[in-house]
């Protein structure tokens, strides 16, 4: 995995596009037959999948969780952190997604009034 500056836009397997005090924006690109580097996600996130080929999520214990192909754009919200994992592209098109991680702005969650 290549480490990149948070302010540099990259076209690698997994890289930070924008790092700010309140959000990190990740661009994920996995070519057919390739795997992402092992990584975790700490913050809640909105994820935009442009098109998702058949893929599988890999866990360090060897577990493989398949994911079906999506032929249209999909937007999801992941409310919790994610443990160490990797994604393997099983399809014949590039896996592409943007992940916007939302960092806390206070140490204690506060509801607005």
- Per-residue confidence (pLDDT) for residue 19, from 0 to 100: 57
CA pair distance 103, 101, nearest whole angstrom? 6
Mean pLDDT to the nearest integer, 92-113:
77
- How would residue 23 be classed by pLDDT, with cut points 50, 70 and 90? confident
pLDDT digits (tens, 9 = 90+) for 29-64: 899 999 999 988 888 999 999 889 999 999 999 999
**What are the sequence ranges of the domains in the chain?**
14-101
CATH superfamily of 14-101: Jelly Rolls (2.60.120.10)
- pLDDT above 90 (res 86): yes
Express as a percent the part of the chain with pLDDT over 70: 75
CA pair distance 106, 50, nearest whole angstrom? 32
């Amino acid at each position: 995995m290549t480490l990149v500056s948070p302010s540099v836009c990259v076209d690698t397997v997994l890289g930070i596009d924008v790092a700010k005090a309140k959000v990190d924006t990740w661009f994920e690109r996995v070519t057919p037959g390739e795997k992402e580097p092992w990584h975790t996600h700490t913050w809640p996130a909105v994820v935009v999948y442009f098109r998702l080929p058949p893929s599988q999520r890999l866990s360090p214990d060897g577990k493989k969780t398949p994911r079906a192909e999506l032929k249209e754009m999909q937007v999801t919200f992941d409310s919790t952190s994610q443990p160490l994992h990797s994604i393997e592209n099983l399809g014949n098109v590039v896996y592409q997604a943007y992940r916007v991680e939302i960092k806390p702005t206070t140490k204690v969650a506060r509801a607005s009034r």
